[in-house]
Amino acid sequence: MAKRIDVGGLTAYYGSHKAIEDISMTVEPRSVTAFIGPSGCGKSTFLRTLNRMHEVTPGGRVEGKVLLDDEDLYGAGVDPVTVRRTVGMVFQRPNPFPTMSIFDNVAAGLRLNGSYRKSRLAEIVEKSLRGANLWNEVKDRLNKPGSGLSGGQQQRLCIARAIAVEPDVLLMDEPCSALDPISTLAIEDLIGELKERFTIVIVTHNMQQAARVSDRTAFFNLAAVGKPGRLIEIDETERIFSNPSVQATEDYISGRFG
Ligand SMILES: Nc1ncnc2c1ncn2[C@@H]1O[C@H](COP(=O)(O)OP(=O)(O)OP(=O)(O)O)[C@@H](O)[C@H]1O
Ligand SMILES: [Mg+2]
C-alpha cells in the first residue's frame, strides 16, 4: 500500500564528510517525485537514506527523521532489513541475479519473505511481470537466465522483482540512464502505471524525463564544491519547469550549469 514519506532535518555523512544537510520534505503517496540537481549534490545519497541503504556503506550514518506514514524508519527497534523490503529500490544499471532464471529473479524476494505454495508463487511472478510490462516478452522463457534479456528488459525485470514483494515505496536511481530511447519510454509509461499503487521517487539527469513522469520535482544543489548538498526547492513539476521560486533552479533547468 502506498505510503507518505515525511523527512525531517535529515543530514547524512560518509565518515567525517557531510554529504547532505538538513533536508526536509514530504512525498505524497500515489505520486511520482523527481530528484534533480548537478552531479555530487547528494541525490543518490539522500535516496539511500530513505530505505536505510546508506548505512550499509562503511562510515555511513544519518541524523534526522524519515517517517513512513507515522513510523520512523530510524526509530529504536526498527529492522533495516524490513525497511528495505517495504521501500524497494531500482538501480541505474539493471542488476538481475545473473545465474538465476527470469522466474527465480522475480521470486527471489518472495522466497526470502517466507514460503509460498508453488502455484501461488507462479501467480505472483506472473502478476509482477505483467505489472512491469514484461510478461508477453518472457512468458515462454521463464526458465532462461535473466542475464539473457536486453538492457531494457533487464530493467523491467528488476522492477518486477521490486514490486513482487508489494513494497509501499519504490525508489529509482537514474533507472533509464543505461537504456535506449524506446526502452526509456517503456519505463516511463510503466512509472505512470505504477504510481496508482506505489509512492515513487525517481532520480534523473534528464529534464524532459522529470517533466514527463513526475508530479512534483525537488531540486538539490551544492553551495560550493566540498559543501554538503541541500534541497533548494520542491514544488509541482509544472511550476518548477515554468516558474521556479529560486534563481539557481531556473539556471539549472535552463542548462546554465550542471
Ligand atoms: N561511498 C561513498 N563514500 C564516500 N563518499 C561518497 C560515497 N558515495 C558518495 N559520496 C560522496 O557524497 C556526495 C554525494 O554523492 P551522491 O552520489 O549522492 O551524488 P549524486 O547527486 O547522486 O551525483 P550523480 O548525479 O553524479 O549520481 C559526493 O560528494 C560524493 O563524493
Ligand atoms: Mg547519483
pLDDT score at 258: 62
pLDDT score at 257: 72
pLDDT score at 256: 76
At 17, the amino acid letter reads: H
CA of 211 relative to ligand 1 center, distance in Å? 24
State in Å, rounded, how far the first CA of the chain is from the last one: 36
State which residues form the domain around 185: 3-252
CA of 94 relative to ligand 2 center, distance in Å? 15
- Ligand 1 within 6 A of CB of 19: yes
Atom of ligand 1 nearest to the CA of 37: 21
CA 224/CA 206 separation, integer angstroms: 23
Q: What is the mean pLDDT of each run of 10 residues along the chain (258 residues)?
A: 96 98 98 97 98 97 97 96 94 93 96 88 96 96 96 96 95 93 92 96 96 98 94 98 96 85
> Kind of pairing, strands 32-36 and 199-203?
parallel
pLDDT score at 255: 87
Q: Confirm whether 118 is domain-assigned.
A: yes
- Ligand 1 within 6 A of CB of 53: no
Q: Confirm whether 257 is domain-assigned.
A: no
- Ligand 1 probe mutation, 18, 35, 36, 44, most atoms within 8 A of CB: 44
What is the CATH classification number for the domain harbouring 86?
3.40.50.300
Q: What is the pTM of this model?
A: 0.95
Q: Confirm whether 258 is domain-assigned.
A: no
- Number of structural domains found in the chain: 1
Measured on CA atoms in the order 185, 189, 190, 191, is the torsion positive or negative? positive
Q: Which ligand has its closest atom nearest to the C-alpha of 229?
A: 1
